[in-house]
């Protein structure tokens, strides 16, 4: 169904799996459902992914990369003379993206939250990417004389990410419905920015 080539590609499977996940949610979607959508036997899918867990992880990995990491990479890559302001934009975007998908793409967000509890490896890789971005921005901020060198950039990067966890970690998603949430983030950021600043 909708096949562009006669042989199944990983991308086609991921597309179908994501569509199935969106339709039935991560608790109900089965490998059989995905196979049905593709018009193939479910056994076929096991020639491409060793297990259902692996398929779920692959879908989540791609979703995270496309929906969260890619837009952030873009922000981190913009040349700037104000790395500290860029860091604020970066974290604000991270918060905005997570909260947006939690409400507007809820089934995939649930999938992401579930995989987060199942696969420490996937989380670790994701966190590492964010930390690398933040680390880079902080190092630039140091070069620009905006951010204090009294603490290593990598250490400050972790503190910034963990310190803002309430606003982007999926375990806090139910708190994001509160109307004051973005103001609270802005206020915390003011404090963190003071802590990061050279002065």
Site string for a copy of itself, 101-140 (x = CB under 8 A): ----------------x-----------------------
93 makes contact, choosing from a copy of itself, DNA, none, with CB < 5 to 8 Å by partner type, with none
C-alpha span between 188 and 190 (Å, rounded): 5
Cβ contacts of 3 within 8 Å, gap of 6 or more: 12, 38, 39
Q: In this structure, are residues 35 and 42 in contact, taking their beta carbons and an 8 Å threshold?
A: yes
Residue 31 contact partner, candidates a copy of itself, DNA, none, CB within 5 to 8 A by sort of partner:
DNA
What 3 state SS string does 148-197 have? Answer: CCCCCHHHHHHHHHHHCHHHHCHHHHHHHHCCCHHHHHHHHHHHHHHHHE
Nearest to 128 by CA among 195, 62, 65, 55: 65
What lies within 8 Å, CB to CB, of 99 at 6+ separation is 167, 168, 176, 181
Among the listed residues 2, 11, 30, 103, the single contact to DNA using CB under 7 A: 30
State the minimum distance, in angstroms, from the CB of residue 128 to a copy of itself. Answer: 15
Q: Which of 15, 25, 37, 52 binds DNA (CB under 7 A)?
A: 52
Q: List the one residue from 9, 10, 162, 177 that touches a copy of itself (CB under 8 A).
A: 162
Binding site for DNA (CB under 7 A): 6-8, 27-28, 30-33, 39-44, 46-48, 50-53
Binding site for a copy of itself (CB under 8 A): 117, 148, 151, 155-156, 158-160, 162-166, 169, 171-172, 174, 184, 187-188, 190-196, 199
């Amino acid at each position: 169904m909708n096949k562009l080539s006669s042989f199944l590609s990983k991308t086609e499977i991921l597309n179908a799996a994501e569509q199935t996940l969106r339709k039935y949610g991560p608790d109900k979607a089965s490998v059989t459902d995905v196979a049905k959508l593709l018009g193939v036997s479910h056994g076929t899918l096991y020639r491409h992914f060793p297990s259902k867990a692996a398929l779920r992880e692959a879908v989540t990995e791609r979703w995270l990369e496309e929906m969260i990491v890619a837009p952030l990479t873009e922000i981190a890559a913009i040349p700037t003379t104000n790395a500290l302001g860029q860091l604020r934009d970066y974290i604000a975007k991270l918060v905005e993206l997570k909260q947006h998908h939690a409400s507007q793409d809820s089934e995939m967000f649930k999938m992401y939250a579930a995989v987060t509890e199942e696969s420490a490896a996937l989380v670790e890789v994701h966190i590492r990417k964010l930390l690398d971005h933040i680390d880079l921005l902080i190092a630039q901020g140091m070069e620009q004389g905006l951010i204090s060198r009294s603490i290593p950039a990598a250490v400050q990067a972790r503190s910034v990410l963990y310190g803002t966890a309430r606003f982007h970690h999926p375990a806090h998603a139910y708190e994001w419905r509160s109307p004051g949430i973005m103001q609270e983030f802005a206020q915390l950021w003011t404090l963190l920015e003071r802590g990061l600043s050279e002065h």
